[in-house]
Amino acid sequence: MEQAAELRELVNSRDVPADIATRGRIVLWSGEGRRRKDIAELLGVSLPTVDRWKTRYAEHGLAGLEGDRPGGAREQVPARVRARVIALTRMTPPEGTGLSHWSTRELAKYLKRTENVTVSWHYIARVWREENLKPHRTGTFKISKDPAFADKVADVVGLYLAPPGGAVVLSIDEKTQIQALDRTQPVPPVNFAATEKRTHDYVRHGTTNLFAALNVGTGEVIGECKPSRNGKNFLAFLKKAVKPHAGKEIHVVLDNLSTHTTPEVKAWLASNPQVHFHFTPVGSSWINQI
């Protein structure tokens, strides 16, 4: 599917020479199951030409379609520009772009707009192939803007590595809007026997919301599915999660959802001083082990 999409982008681009677009159509139409005779007639080429470019693509990918272009020298780009393309590709796009990762076209536009460097998206695609760069498959890391970032990280990581003696550390999170096509039991069934039936009940109606708690010390997981995510349902699950640990100090690691700080939740915490909340830094829920 990814190769077909890449070929369609190639053959439909106004930046690609006609001969390369023809070669791309040969490969694309072959992949769609068209007969080589029909492809040759439609494109006005010989049968050996069809076979040749199918073979070149199978051996070298898109780069194989660029060879032997009469009078068609490759786009000449200075080494410093190539290095800049590679460097930007490996970075998360600036916040103002609204992008989670670069595409060849967006990177070409960005270079032109911000650095007055003109390269085609086709050139960028070739650099990515040669350097084996796949920004759409690369995870990104966003630095939190929480002013208390360092203190919160030390607090949460400290609980995981060296919890207070005799205390219980629970890591709680919620997966929202689980579609009916998703797995109905996304966490290994430790205490999930009753959860699976609830999930089936909810997904019949479209979506469900999973609440899960990991006991950091034992690895035990408990969970519950609810039709909606709100402070009331969170508090109900919280009570269920802490109930087996009556009489102990309980430390709960959470992210910064508003449902975790409703007036009802704060009132319950005030009446249960043995339970302590520890919030991950803003924009850093990845710290939460659950």
CATH of the domain at 181: 3.30.420.10
Asked whether residue 187 falls in the same domain as residue 282, the answer is yes
Asked whether residue 124 falls in the same domain as residue 168, the answer is no
Q: How many CA atoms lie within 13 A of 6 on its CB side?
A: 18
Instruction: Decide if 143 is inside a domain.
Output: no
Burial class (CB in 10 A: 0-12, 13-18, 19+), 59: exposed
Sign of the CA dihedral with 18 first, then 24, 26, and 32 last = negative
Q: Is the pLDDT of residue 148 over 60?
A: yes
Q: Give mean pLDDT, residues 231-245.
A: 92
Instruction: Decide if 70 is inside a domain.
Output: no
289 pairs with which residues across the strands? none
Cβ atoms of residues 276 and 249 within 8 Å: yes
Q: E-assigned strands of 93-218?
A: 168-179, 207-215
Instruction: Decide if 144 is inside a domain.
Output: no
Q: Give the range of the structural domain holding residue 237, as residue numbers without chain letter.
A: 149-287
Q: What is the pLDDT of residues 52-65, one digit of tens each?
A: 999 988 887 777 78
Instruction: Decide if 221 is inside a domain.
Output: yes
Cβ atoms of residues 281 and 157 within 8 Å: no
Burial class (CB in 10 A: 0-12, 13-18, 19+), 222: buried
Give the model's pLDDT for residue 194: 44
Asked whether residue 197 falls in the same domain as residue 245, the answer is yes
Asked whether residue 97 falls in the same domain as residue 7, the answer is no
100 pairs with which residues across the strands? none
In this prediction the pTM is: 0.47
- Of the three residues 87, 104, 137, the one that is the final residue of a domain is 137
Q: What is the pLDDT of residues 61-100, one digit of tens each?
A: 777 787 654 444 555 677 778 888 888 888 888 878 888 7
Asked whether residue 195 falls in the same domain as residue 240, the answer is yes
Q: Is the pLDDT of residue 207 over 60?
A: no
Into how many domains does the chain fold? Answer: 3
Q: How many CB atoms lie within 10 A of CB 87?
A: 9
Instruction: Decide if 188 is inside a domain.
Output: yes
In terms of DSSP bridges, do strands 250-254 and 168-179 run parallel, antiparallel, or are they unpaired?
parallel
Asked whether residue 199 falls in the same domain as residue 251, the answer is yes
Asked whether residue 116 falls in the same domain as residue 16, the answer is no
- Burial annotation 135-169 (CB, 10 A radius, 16+ → b, else e): beeeeeeeebebeebeebbebbeebeeeeeeeebb
Give the model's pLDDT for residue 171: 93
Give the model's pLDDT for residue 202: 44
